[in-house]
Structure 1
Amino acid sequence: MRHVIFPSWLNLPTRDSRKKLWKRVRRIIFRNRRPLMTAIATAGCVLGVRYLGLLQPFELATFDVFIQQRPGESPDPRIVIVTIDDPDIEEMGSWPLSDADMAAMLKEIRSYNPRLIGLDIYRDISVGMGRAELRDVFETTPNLIGIEKIADDSSLGVHPPPLLEAQGQVGFNNVILDIDGHVRRSILFWQVEEETHRSFALQLVLAYLEAEGRGMAISPTDPNSILLGDTPLPSLQPNSGSYVGVDAGGYQILHLPRQNSQPFEMVSLTKLMRGDVDADLFRDRIVLIGSTAASLKDFFMTAHTDSLAGSARPISGVELQGHFISQLLSVALDGRSPVRFLADPLEIVWISSWAMLGVALSWKLRRSKYVIWLLLIVSTGLIGGCFIAFLGNWWVPILPALLTLWGGGLSVMLHTAYLQEELRKSKDFLQSVINTIPDPVFVKDRFQKWIVLNEAFAHFVGYAPISLLNQNDFNIFPIEQAEQLLEQDQYTLETGESSEAEVALTNLNGHTYQVAVKRSLHKDAAGNRFLVGIIHDITRQKQVEVELRRQTEELARTNAELKRSEDHLRHLAYHDGLTGLPNRDLFMEQLDHFISWAAEHDKLVSVLFLDLDGFKHINDTYGHAIGDLLLKAVARRLSNSLRSSDILGRFGGDEFVVLLPGIHSAEDIEIVARKLVTAVTQPFVLEQHQIHVTTSIGISFYPHHAQKPKELVDYADQAMYRAKEMGKNRYTLAKALLSDSSTASSS
């Protein structure tokens, strides 16, 4: 065998030296077990509270304070904002701006040769005169980026300008609010139905970087992160920084606003349209256009809008987009680092280390006034250090560290006071009261041997009292029970805390009891510790608990069966038995609900009444079984042709109804109707029979035709019969809105 000779300077420890080292470490840990356990408990409590999210509002407020205390920055020379405030709206004479006014504004800006134009104004439909002129501007301005709003839980969304969308010149301007309503995050990508959308700010930044010969790429070290320019831009995670379980969907980053009272050059719309603008102000810059009018209420609170004095100055949506763009450009072109966070394990170590420090300082000094002053000094250093780290774009948890520092220090101070009070207790007190208690009572010394016990305890275990003195559990009880009692006694002796535990004990006669043992620790003036235990027989109680548990489980099963039956009956009552679609009662309830919703939100609600053409002939020719299969197939095809928010129901026979909530215009309703007519016209193959069927559709919508659900359905029903009279396989609108000549058909 070949021997390996290590150099003398390596000094590898031998087996004996390792054993000695381990024994020494164990002794150190044992001697300091109280402060160590205090530190662990303090850190655990603070971490538990933190991961429940209870500290998040205060940590976010601390983040805001740090943002506000950063040194000021110069205005960003790459961005100019054209503002539209209330005087501008009054000057223009209307809001929204007409297509003609918007085209004139964009032409005026374009004449100054900006690098990019960001239109932070919704324009999903035409307004006033000038539609062709605005379309021409959209077609001839490749450096123009428009906006859309993606539908989310709070709104239905706003579509982008169709022409800009077709040209790929659109980005979403959705913002994410924290629990206090502030914007501290920006989202770059949003996945909607397997399609990735880019934000308005990112679209402008990427176009700007393209002219600089830079762009965006996947990070070679982390496939889930991107490189902006040459700088990694990792995405925000649910527990990044002081966030706890935040929704980090899409691709979010922490927003760092530009610290300046006037971060961007601003020009009013009125001044622009009068030509009173320096040509160099717009040349080769990003020009953002958006509302700053107080009447339009497009304002947001951010980390730098609340001051320490309590005043708040929200910023407009277009300014917020400017901050998003400025931050991304600074990362890509100026080498500005994005905000970085400690990994979760490092955060736990960071927070726990301050608990250790607080406990160590308090344990060593023991005198309260010195501990308080020292904790104040250390806290000041902690706050200053975290702020310096923040200036380097590191967000380090400060509030949990302060809580563990003070929690650990104060816990030791309170525990020391408690120990001093306990030392005043006397062993004589135990002697005087133990025999007055009818339950079995025992007293053990620190070696866990019985030194005092009453007659009830001796009777319980089946031994004479004299034979039990100076004995332990292993001399009386089975080894498994004795080990369990030893562990519970040791816990109380080491922690000094009272405890209560349920165990099984077998006495000398072989009878096993279920008992609850309550333990407490007592000390005399000399520091001797005594473990006092009281045993309560709970055998009968446990038997009752088992029976109650069995009855509870049976009751739970019965309730579950009743609930399933109730749900099944409700489904049968409100759904068609053949197709599974909502029946007349459920459809009318939902229609009534959406009419109320539409009245509050100024929306249209449409009802489409469908009847299959020639269905009776199909029943007579192929039989009712084929007819039923056809009805189910038609129901499936209609459902697949509708949005998830639309409602399809069956009134009976071959009559179907469709509810379209949140419709913008009558043209949208006709699009859906044509789609349904086309879908039904396609042949059905049922049990090797190719069956052709068509449908006639009547259309009504709220509020133009009727205000009540039944009237709205009746109008649609009447319109359906008119469609049949006109030749079937078509749709027609109710007469209350249009004349006969205005009906439309679909082949």
Structure 2
Amino acid sequence: MAPNQSSSSIEIFISYAQEDKKLLEQFTAHLSSLKREGVINAWHDGEINAGTEGAKQIEEHLNSADVILLLLSSDFIDSEEHWQRDVTRAMDRHNKGEARVIPVLLRPFDWKIKQLDGLQALPRNGEAITSKSWSNHDDAFKEVAEDIRKVVEELIPRQLEKVPEETSDAVTTSIPKPQWLPLLLKLQSFHWLSLLKFLGISTGLTTLVVFMRLCGIFQASELWFFDQMMQFQPTESQDDRLLVIEVTKEDIDKQEGIKRGSLTDKTLLTLLKTLLKYPQNQPKTIGLDIYRDFATETKEFSQPENKKLSNLLKTESRIIAVCNIGDLSQNNKGTAPPPEIPTKRLGFSDFLSDSEGIVRRQILSIETPKSSPCWSSKEPVSNAFSLELAQHYLGKQYEEIKDRSIRLRLGDTTFDLLDGRHRGGYSFWTDLEGYQVLLNYRVSCSEKKKNDCSPQYVAERVTLDDVNKSDFLTKYSLKDKIVLIGVSDYSYEAPWFTPFSSKGHAPIPGVIIQAQMVSQILSAVDTKNPRPLLRVLPIWYEILWILFWSLIGGAIALLRFSSIPRLRLSTKGLIISGGVVFISLYCSSLIYFITPVKYWVPFVPSALTFLGTGGVVLYRGFNPQKS
């Protein structure tokens, strides 16, 4: 045994071409630190003693080496002797798991040879020692030596396990090998420093992405993906608890009399009388989604229809009307409610639209500012029009319970609200005040065109002209329904964009949005066939989700440089594996969204950490001297 070598030393066999002898000398000099530590015993045919059989010594060392280094160059590949003797035997032992074969690229040439396929060559960046990409040979040899040290450190524990078996019987009997020794040696050989670096990269990138997300940098892209997933919603039947009466431009133009709003008093009175004409076919609730911020009966308007309409609005408990809270930041001062209707039969009609004008959230209740027109008779209108309609329809047992600690509850149904800890893709700058939930649009198909499916067909729709026809009450059932009355003439009220607008669907009237919101509430509390609400995870769960995909991305990249041949990925394998996992990320996000689970999990931040961590690990692996 050579000086400073122990029985646990790793034996290294170096195969090279004679034309590369000077490079061999430089290389072995860089291995001298490992030799002096006693962890390796490097040998090559330059150490054959005079007067001995060289071929026999080469064969012995080739068969006993733990690591076989192939110093590759064009001359090495051209040598039949090296190829038939060294490479063939080395690969045979490598495939059997008896030795580790490591190609070292000395001079530039095409080394992608089938027999060496799957081996990780050094330097890791694939640039030969003498190529111009290295400032000098020492830098390249230093990196190669460091990688060989890692391989040696991994093999030493395995070598130690063999030591007791190679000693005498007296030694093995006097010093028994503990059962836990193999496990301890494996733990010692594990690259804990590399693991900590990997975890540091993943955690750092996740922290950066989460911070950028909360600052709103990804909000536009997250909301775009929200819309794409919403468009994958399966179609559902129309909500038969609702009937929408649209006041079209033609309906408005046909009216006679003085207009103080979209509908004259005479037209509105006729409409309400028609709906309440037959007791056996009356709606349970009537939602008047039309602004009337003026008194019906005044000195100027004291005709019989004015008095009758005023009295009907005051006394009919089934009529729910609207006001608009307004938003001074948007130059919207709001709109007052009809003065004849008491506060308990009023709801605000305000929508929450994002920066693109798309309605993705539903506000159920809010603390109305005193400056708002929605203060009626010294009382605030604090509930949304949709919530008031749903509560009136459901009955007194469904009075809401408002408490931030227990969310908002109707009956036995709890509404998970958006707030500081449940933001989804919304940034810190997004106003989540009040009781807000995500709007889970119901997509239904038109009765006339079964292939025309859109959120605008959430319920059956008729026009004011249809109501005025003599056969309306025999053709349509109103019994125990919610009838929503609203204007669809865009000259009176601008339409609203939905997540489906980017798919080619036109914006829809506000009364249809209200129908969507009422339907969501009714369906959520339905005990027979509940329709789940769309929710978001708590922020800490979202961070763990993002971190998980970051770790997956880094782990796949690490397999590109695995020291275990069976686990090592080729470039093609890396691309395929990464692509499959990335598609799995998107599919899992989509499944959570459209199935009854109904969670909006973060896709964009997870995709960024997945790609980012994988990219950093690959960069460090291919450019260790820079990292």
* TM-score (norm. length: structure 2): 0.60
Once the two structures are superposed, residues 379-417 of structure 1 have per-residue CA deviations (whole angstroms, 9 ceiling, x without a partner) of 111111111111221111111111111111122222222
Judged with a 3 Å threshold, the aligned counterparts in structure 2 of structure 1 residues 347 and 290 are, in CA distance, closer, same or farther, namely: same
Within a 5 Å distance, the mapping from 1:701-712 to structure 2 comes to: none
Provide the C-alpha distance between the structure 1 equivalents of 2:189 and 2:275, rounded to a whole number of angstroms. 76
Match of 1:385 in 2: 588
Letter in 1 for 2:350: N
Q: Please, which runs of 5 or more residues in structure 2 have no aligned partner?
A: 1-179, 371-379, 445-453, 562-569
The aligned counterpart of 1:181 is 357
* Match of residue 399, structure 1, among 604, 610, 615: 604
Q: Following the alignment from structure 1 to structure 2, what is the Cα–Cα distance between the partners of residues 405 and 321?
A: 39
Contact kept, 8 Å, 1:362 with 1:410, in 2: the verdict is yes
1:286 paired to 2:482: yes
1:327 aligns with 2:327: no
SS where residue 497 of structure 2 aligns?
strand
Within the alignment, does 1:249 sit opposite 2:426 as a pair? no
3-state SS in 1 of match to 2:512: helix
Contact residue 114 and residue 287 of structure 1 kept, 8 A: yes
Aligned-residue offset at 1:146: 0.4
2:477 is the counterpart of 1:300:
no
Distance 1:341 1:23, change over 3 A: farther
1:577-609 deviation per Cα after TM superposition (whole angstroms, max 9, x unaligned):
xxxxxxxxxxxxxxxxxxxxxxxxxxxxxxxxx
Q: How far does the alpha carbon of each residue in 1:300-359 deviate from its partner, in whole angstroms, 9 at most, with x for none?
A: 11123331xxx2411100000000000000001132222222211111111011111111
- Is 1:227 the counterpart of 2:409? The answer is yes
What RMSD over aligned residues (CA atoms) do the two structures have, in Å? Answer: 2.6
Question: What secondary structure does 1:118 align onto?
Answer: strand
Of the candidates 275, 284, 289, which is equivalent to residue 115 of structure 1? 284
Following the alignment from structure 2 to structure 1, what is the Cα–Cα distance between the partners of residues 265 and 415?
39
Is the 8 Å Cα contact of residues 291 and 298 (structure 1) preserved in structure 2?
Answer: no
Question: Secondary structure of 2:477's partner?
Answer: helix
Aligned to 2:327: 152
Distance in 1 between the 2:285 and 2:582 partners? 48
- Hey, what's the Cα distance between the residues in 2 that align with 1:46 and 1:22? 38
Distance 1:23 1:368 in 2: 29
The share of aligned pairs that are identical, in percent, is 29
Paired letter, 2:315: T
- Whether the 8 Å CA contact 1:231–1:335 is kept in 2: the answer is no
Q: Partners of 1:362 and 1:192 in 2: how far apart?
A: 53
After superposition, the Cα gap between the structure-2 partners of 1:22 and 1:191, relative to the gap in structure 1 and judged at 3 Å, is farther
Partner of 1:491: none
Q: Distance in 1 between matches of 2:469 and 2:185?
A: 84
Judged with a 3 Å threshold, the aligned counterparts in structure 2 of structure 1 residues 276 and 305 are, in CA distance, closer, same or farther, namely farther
**Structure number with higher strand proportion:** 1
Q: Distance in 2 between matches of 1:26 and 1:319?
A: 66
Are the structure 2 counterparts of residues 25 and 208 from structure 1 closer, same or farther at C-alpha, using a change threshold of 3 Å? farther
Q: Counterparts of 1:73-88 in structure 2 under 5 Å?
A: 73-88=236-251
| 1:489-511 deviation digits (Å, cap 9, x = unpaired) | xxxxxxx66xxxxxxxxxxxxxx
| One-letter amino acid of the counterpart of residue 410, structure 2 | L
What amino acid is aligned across from residue 317 of structure 1 in structure 2?
G
- TM-score, normalising length: structure 1: 0.51
Tell me which moved more, 378-387 or 69-78.
378-387
| Partner-residue secondary structure (3-state), 1:384 | helix
Aligned residues: 399
2:432 aligned counterpart, secondary structure: coil
Partner of 1:258: 442
Contact 1:83–1:269 (8 Å) recurs in 2: yes
Q: Which residue of 1 aligns with 2:532?
A: 337
Structure 1 stretches of 5 or more lacking a match? 1-16, 423-495, 498-747
Larger RCO, structure (CA 8 Å, separation 6 or more): 2
Q: Which residue of 1 aligns with 2:150?
A: none
Of residues 572, 575, 578, the one that matches 1:375 is 578
- Conservation of the 8 A alpha-carbon contact between 1:209 and 1:215: no
Deviation string for 1:7-60 (max 9, x for gaps)?
xxxxxxxxxx9xx98994896431323333322232233222212211111111
What is the aligned partner in structure 2 of residue 688 from structure 1?
Answer: none
Partner amino acid, structure 2, of 1:107: K
Which position in structure 2 is the counterpart of 1:611? Answer: none
Distance 1:259 1:290, change over 3 A: same
Give, in whole Å, the separation in 1 of the partners of 2:398 and 2:204.
51
What does residue 33 of structure 1 align with? Answer: 196
The answer to whether the 8 A contact 2:418-2:436 is kept is yes
Counterpart code for 1:291: V
Query: Against the structure 1 CA distance between its residues 31 and 409, is the aligned structure 2 distance closer, same or farther, given a 3 Å change threshold?
Result: closer
Q: Deviations over 1:647-671 (max 9, x none)?
A: xxxxxxxxxxxxxxxxxxxxxxxxx
TM-aligned CA deviation for residue 226 of structure 1: 2.1
Determine helix, strand or coil for the equivalent of 1:302: coil
Q: Corresponding residue for 1:510?
A: none
CA distance in 2, matches of 1:191, 1:143: 25
Verify the 8 A CA contact 2:424 2:601 in the aligned structure 1: yes
Structure-2 change in CA distance of 1:30 and 1:253 (3 Å): same
Give me the whole-angstrom Cα distance separating, in 1, the residues matched to 2:185 and 2:463: 75
Give the 5 Å matches for 1:153-232: 153=328, 154=330, 155-165=332-342, 168-193=344-369, 195=380, 197-210=382-395, 214-217=398-401, 223-232=405-414
CA contact (8 A) 2:255 2:264 kept: no
Question: Would you say the 8 A contact 2:408–2:435 is kept in 1?
Answer: no
Deviations 1:101-160 (A, max 9, x none): 211111111224110000000011147653212112112311000001113222111111
Q: Distance in 2 between matches of 1:124 and 1:74?
A: 36
Once residues 31 and 198 of structure 1 are traced to their aligned partners in structure 2, the CA distance between those partners, rounded to angstroms, is 57
Q: Per the alignment, do residues 185 and 25 of structure 1 end up closer, same or farther by CA in structure 2, a change over 3 Å counting?
A: farther
Matches within 5 A, 1:657-676: none
